[in-house]
Structure 1
Amino acid sequence: MLARVTLLAVSVLLVSGCKLELPILGGSNISGPLQVENVVFERAGGPQCPGATETTPENVRCANLRLTYPKVLTAGSPQAAAAINQFIQEQVLEYSDPQGKAPTTPDEFSSMFVNDYNEVPDAMGVWEMERKVEVSFASDHLLTLNFSESGYTGGAHPFSGQRYFVLDLDSGKHLALNALLAPNYEAELNKVGERAFRKERNLPEAASLEEAGFWFANNSFKVNTNFGVLKDSLVFNFNAYEVAPYAMGPTEFTVSYDDIKAFIPEAGLLAAVAR
């Protein structure tokens, strides 16, 4: 009789000691005190996983989990490095069992994921989940992380999405837009952001967002909180289903610092990047 949870011997845990140099958009976007090593965790489990005896493409029943994320070795301070590592772990391990318990390690996460698969009596084929955290940008004081997730756990469509996080390299604190821009920035940022959004979507200036298939309250564009700091711009991302149907996919666009320079405080954290 097969065990309820089978973690295969072919599963691997890889830890490499190389510095990450993985900017998401454009050129070399990493400088300053940040040093990281890349961690890759993979587990597969279930009644009939690839590589197990008598497994065929027709009878495969398996759940695969893959996590890739940076471990911060050096930041603006040891305390900041610890805080950023904790933040990364919280994003990577966001999950819970039926009782609401959250995993504290990748191993616990993989066990919960496989358990959930095994609890579905008619689950055939493969469940997959891949989570990845990459460094999009790092400067003397700011860090942008890109968290992406994709996979399939049944249903009509696979799932995917990504989110940016901006952190203070000196404290490890997660920063919102109002920590980087001057008060009353919203109207101008929304105006500039809408132009960039329309350009990305090939929408004329006078075209109705609602008639084009987008879901903005009162048919009025507004940036979201899914943003990152890059070398010469802020990047924003709307995931699938967020402001448009699944078939229209996600929308990512950038807002140049030159277009919002009046709202970048001279003594603020963003000023050194935007110069």
Structure 2
Amino acid sequence: MDERIRLRLDVSYDGTDFSGWAVQPTRRTVAGVLVETLDLVLGAGAVTGLTVAGRTDAGVHATGQVCHLDLPTLAWREHQGRLLRRVARLLPGDVRVRAMTEVPADFDARFSATFRRYEYRVTDAPWGAEPLRRRDILAWSRPLDLAALNVAAAGLVGEHDFAAYCRRKENATTVREVTRLDWRRDPDGILVATVQADAFCQAMVRSLVGAMLTAGDGRRPVAWPSGLLARRERSSEVTVAPAHGLTLVAVGYPDDPAEYAHRADRTRRLRLPVES
């Protein structure tokens, strides 16, 4: 077997016209576009093992996505000086590979990650979202109270069973540790929720945002979102916020590359499926 090398790719994309990250035979996906482009440059089948930190849903964006892949060492040595620019010329405008970095073979974009950080953007302006920002900002029809949003958020920080906010998968835990959850209002009036955790189960971030927004506009008490943590099944009362307001902005990894394998082993023991 040819010697192979592992690369880390830092990726950004506008998720509007993608059916999510994962390859689907009849749909346009981020992974599908990346593989097709790399095949054009390196030859069909050269790239194997494409693995992503967080498999974003259809319509979700990313400015800090991370994935890894393996390719023949000879191909990398031949193309590495110009591969990034060649890929940039061939990729469509709604996805960019910002960096390609050689990493140890035990680096795992998914399981070596220590955190994922998302931002969700909302405007409560009476005229809605500005036309140039309509793809990444949710227009909310009711005024939102920043203080109420942050009180609701504070009750969700920590390690909890987020079953009420997750689409449960067989043999998968819904226990997660949220290390950061807060809201700010930027100078342009846009409200931004920052959510960080070791990992997220499917639809969890948008479900949390949906619950907090109903507290922020006064339709629910500020303690209602945290009160749902006592439930062990998904709550039908929680409305999942639309995908287009959500952006994956960062994925963290151990500072010491020697810790990649240890972190990956620990994560696999904690949970099998990890969805973001």
Please give the TM-score of this superposition, normalised by the length of structure 2.
0.29
Larger helix share, 1 or 2: 2
**Comparing both chains, which one has the higher relative contact order based on Cα–Cα distances under 8 Å and sequence gaps of 6 or more?**
2
